Amino acid sequence: MAAGLSLTYILIAGSFIAAAGGLLGSFALLRRMALVGDALSHVALPGIAIALMLNLNILWGSAVFLVVGTFFIWLVENKTKLPVDTVVGVFFALSLAIGALLATEEEILDALFGSIVDLSISDFWIAAILSLAIIIFILNYSKRFALTFISNDLARSTGLKPSILELGFLLIFALAVAVGIKLVGALLMGSVIIIPAAASRNIARSFNSYLFMSALIGVFASIAAILLSINYDLTPGPAFVLVAGALFFISIFFRKN
Amino acid sequence: MADEEKILEVRDLTVKVGNVALVENISFAVKKGETVLVIGPNGAGKTTLFRALIGSVPYFGEVKWGEGASIGYVPQKVDLERDLPITVREFFMLKTGNIGEAEVKEALLDVKLESEYAEKGISELSSGELQRILIAWAVLGHPKVLLFDEPTASIDVAGQETIYELLHNLQDTHDLTLIMISHDLTVVYKYATQVLCLNKEQICFGSPREVLTPEELSKLYGPELTFYHHLH
């Protein structure tokens, strides 16, 4: 642990990030944007590379690129009616290319796969506070998001504005990716958001349990991954994906219907 | 028609995708408590008209709802994923926020379903049950107007009769103005106070006995009707 933060801090930060990611993932699956969300996280890469060049915290670099990139994607989708996966696909490839040109190989590896065990105290507070803010925001708007993603027309008939809610959701999504990059890296951040929610969906019968189990499975996988990576000298990002992936396969056996 | 009686007034409504008009120059007015049936062949723009009324698609012209005219909407179909983890009670709560036991029971009773349905998952419902739940959802919070878009398939004739009776009862108990799309002309004669015939353009609007003359019907369903005559 290079920065000298105790394991407790790392576990708490990891849990917060995973809880926010899992919760967000429940809604991302409702919106059928599992793969889009995954690709979107790569938009952070040029921001990370620039932050590294300027010696800034990579979180700010990735946050700026993600938020601006997401807004731009929303705009292009709304103005051109291109399918969102086409738009994100183009942005994803561009970002990866720019990121690869700007950063060195070792830095790119850290950015791609994460390094939560090198957490600094400011990283800790940023991750904890932003994750908590994301959780509160999502819970506060959960009914509106759910209705919008289940049926745009039903949402509109009650006076909701789907396009504004979707922009709000995408921006929160971008923020969560920026925060999560420290834990699992840009390449695997999609997994923090998608896999726990996908496992939860297999076993949950009600919406409340769906949200709760998504967050819980994320937290469990995060704690297990951090402990595994410290004890066996593994990279935490891939360890998280393996634990969460295993939970997903187990959940298939408990699938309802 | 005095202004205060009107709950909806539509003037020169046109919805376009690119340069193609899905519906064109629709004008009609609805009074409180009426039952308006919208009829027309497939692809006539009936659902598009509804989506314009709730503001779901951009349009030209004017859609003026009366003061305080809250709307309940039952779409033709809702693309629910089969494994959507949400119970009927939670689905109701998406509209109302917190909801009391009595309200849930009343909403289910409105559509002739037992209170046990509150805890059922949306994905466990048959298509007929889901339609009732969507109707119950639409009238939650006591809207003044109910827009009902009838499904073209999947519900049998016996089931359909019950749905119309159910809507008719709801209209009485909830003091609703009902605007519905139907594919069944017998329903028009039984329930409608006004009928709007649509085939991209407005073919007719008025009381069923006045406007549903053989000439108007052949204008509306023209080629298909001729086709049927040839068959028999």
User: Is residue B223 in some structural domain?
Assistant: yes
Closest by Cα among A2, A3, A89 to A42: A89
Asked if the structure places residue A122 within a domain, the reply is yes
Q: A152 lies in a domain? A: yes
Domain count, chain B: 1
Which CATH number do you get for residue A138? 1.10.3470.10
Domain count, chain A: 1
The reply to whether A146 touches chain B by the CB within 8 Å rule is: yes
Stated as kind and residue range, the H or E segment containing B62 is: strand B60-65
Q: CA of B73: which chain A residue's CA is closest?
A: A157
Q: Which helix (H) or strand (E) holds B198?
A: strand B194-199
What whole-number distance in Å separates Cα of residue A58 and Cα of residue A48?
A: 5
- Calpha distance B33→B24 (Å, rounded): 26
Check residue B208 and give its pLDDT: 84
Which among B51, B75, B147 has the least Cβ separation from residue A151?
A: B75
Full-prediction pTM beyond 0.90? no
Instruction: Give the CATH number, domain containing residue B39.
Output: 3.40.50.300
- What is the DSSP-derived secondary structure letter of residue B30? E
Q: Considering the domain boundaries, does residue A38 fall inside one? A: yes
Among B55, B121, B138, beta carbon nearest to A156: B55
Contact with chain B for residue A143, Cβ under 8 A: yes
Q: How many CB pairs under 8 A join A and B?
A: 65
For residue A58, is it within any domain? yes
Chain B nearest-CA distance from A75, in A, is 17
Question: Does B93 contact A157 at a Cβ distance shorter than 8 Å?
Answer: no
Task: Judge: A150–B73 Cβ closer than 8 Å, yes or no.
Answer: no
**CA of B67 vs chain A CAs: smallest distance (Å):** 15
The DSSP code sequence of A34-85 is HHHHHHHGGGGHHHHHHHHHTT--HHHHHHHHHHHHHHHHHHHHHHH---HH
Calpha distance A11→A236 (Å, rounded): 12
Residue A250 covered by a domain: yes
In a domain, A33, yes or no: yes
Q: What is d(CA A183, CA A218) in angstroms, rounded to the nearest whole number?
A: 12
Give the integer Cα–Cα distance in Å for B32 and B229.
39
What is the C-alpha separation between A156 and B142, in angstroms, rounded?
17
Range of the domain at B23: 1-70+182-231
| Residue B206 φ/ψ, nearest 5 degrees | 165, -170
Alpha-carbon distance of B170 to B173, in angstroms, equals: 5
Cα–Cα distance measured from residue A43 to residue A177, given in angstroms and rounded to the nearest whole number: 10
Give residue A127's domain range.
Answer: 22-254
Which one of B56, B71, B82, B94 would you mutate to disrupt binding with A, by most A Cβ within 10 Å of its Cβ? B94
The residue type at A244: A
Encode chain A (257 residues) as per-residue pLDDT tens digits: 444 678 899 899 999 999 999 999 999 998 877 777 677 777 888 888 888 888 888 888 888 888 888 888 788 877 777 777 787 788 888 888 888 888 777 777 777 777 777 788 888 898 899 999 999 999 999 999 999 998 888 898 888 998 899 889 988 988 888 888 877 787 778 888 999 999 999 999 899 999 999 999 999 999 999 999 889 988 888 899 999 999 999 999 988 65
> Which chain A residue's Cα is nearest to B137?
A154
Is there a contact between B226 and B232 (Cβ–Cβ < 8 Å)? Answer: no
Calculate how close chain A gets to B219, using CA atoms only, in Å: 31
- Rounded to 10°, the helix A236-252/A189-203 angle is 20
Instruction: Please indicate, yes or no, if residue A4 is contained in any of the structural domains.
Output: no
Confidence at residue A217, expressed as pLDDT on a 0 to 100 scale: 97
The answer for residues whose C-beta is within 8 angstroms of residue A190's C-beta and 6 or more apart is A34, A35, A37, A38, A39, A40, A41
Q: Between helices A7-30 and A162-184, what is the axis angle to 10°? A: 150
A20: tokens are: 């926010």
pLDDT tens digits in sequence order for chain B, 232 residues long: 555 588 999 999 999 988 888 999 999 999 999 999 998 888 889 999 999 998 888 899 999 998 888 899 998 877 777 778 999 999 999 988 888 888 899 999 988 888 999 999 988 888 888 888 999 999 998 899 999 988 765 555 555 557 888 888 889 888 899 999 987 777 777 788 999 989 888 888 988 888 777 777 777 777 555 434 333 3
